[in-house]
Amino acid sequence: MEQTMNQATTPNQLGASWKGIAFRWETFLLAVFAFVFVMFAMASPYFLSVWNLSDATFNFTERALIALPMAMLIICREIDLSVASTMALASVAMGMIAELGAGVPAVVVIGLFVGLLCGLFNGFIVTTFGIPSIVVTIGTMSLFRGITNGLMGNEVLNSYPAGFSYFGQGYVHWVFSFQFVLFLGAALLFYVLLHHTNFGRRTYAIGANPVAAEYSGIRVNRHKMILFAAVGLMAGLASVLLTSRLGSTRPAIAFGWELSIVTMVVLGGVNILGGSGSIIGVVIAAFLMGIVTFGLGLLNVPGVVMTIIIGAMLITVISLPIIAQRLKAMRSKRL
């Protein structure tokens, strides 16, 4: 009896636990999401339609699929700004092979393969030559997009085989699209990978101190290489979905998407300097950005304004932790 009482959770422990949950970034994001959801529901009579809300998922699932491995890469103190250009290059490869009469499996495989190849290329340069990933991927962002434009010019490729449209337009059941179900499955996979495996623990260790991680026996470069490959592979998958949804390949496909993907990750609470973050936060941020984009679209807000809002969100989210840290340091000095 005495042992049971000692093991029981005290009211103070429960209070501390609830306080910890209440002050988590994910809880704040959920509150913001609920507020935005209610505001849009009041502003537009069409917002609460289940089919409209289903259509809203197309606003973020392709980007969110890339944001999942991107979160792990940023936690590891690296970044990939070439993901949108990778998507464009993968889309061109799919369009060209479709023009030759390839079937759906071959088209999908080539899209995934090109995405994986681009990710491996980025990872190879970063880990082999020690060049900062932000520099490398800005370069490959221009390189991949340049190759895309060189191969296509002003052409549009739209000779995709029958059945390919299902990936970007099909529904698994009722209002649940294939894209949305795929995203939920990927989110669960990356959640387990980051938060419940040794691979995830190594990711946090490298992000906290890569030198110490190396001395502790972690193969840092190999780990980063895997993450770059994962980001490239998911960019290839996102390209399959986007190309399928649009039904065609254009040179400017996914142009500027890298900004919204990084915003999604940072808004989800991932430290841009590495070492901390969660998949749950990224998933909530994806839903938040998707609902904001959809709601503003229903209210006929121009796309330029949406871009301004996304940029403002990115600056605010990056600035808030730095400002809070400085205020905390100033209070400590005064005390």
Q: What is the pLDDT of residues 222-268, one digit of tens each?
A: 999 999 999 999 999 999 999 999 999 998 999 989 988 998 999 99
- The whole-number average pLDDT for the span 156-173 is 94
Amino acid of residue 163: G
What number does CATH give the domain 29-334?
A: 1.10.3470
Note the pTM of the prediction, 2 decimals. Answer: 0.90
- Determine the pLDDT at residue 4: 40
- The whole-number average pLDDT for the span 169-190 is 96
Question: Regarding predicted confidence, which is higher, 158 or 313?
Answer: 158
Model confidence at 335, pLDDT cuts 50, 70, 90, reads: low
Helices assigned H by DSSP within 44-130: 50-56, 61-75, 83-99, 104-129
Residue 96, classified by CB atoms within 10 Å of its CB into exposed (0-12), middle (13-18) or buried (19+), is middle
What mean pLDDT, rounded, does the chain reach? 89
90-149: pLDDT as tens digits? 999 999 999 999 999 999 999 999 999 999 999 999 999 999 999 999 999 999 999 999
Nearest to 65 by CA among 310, 232, 259: 232
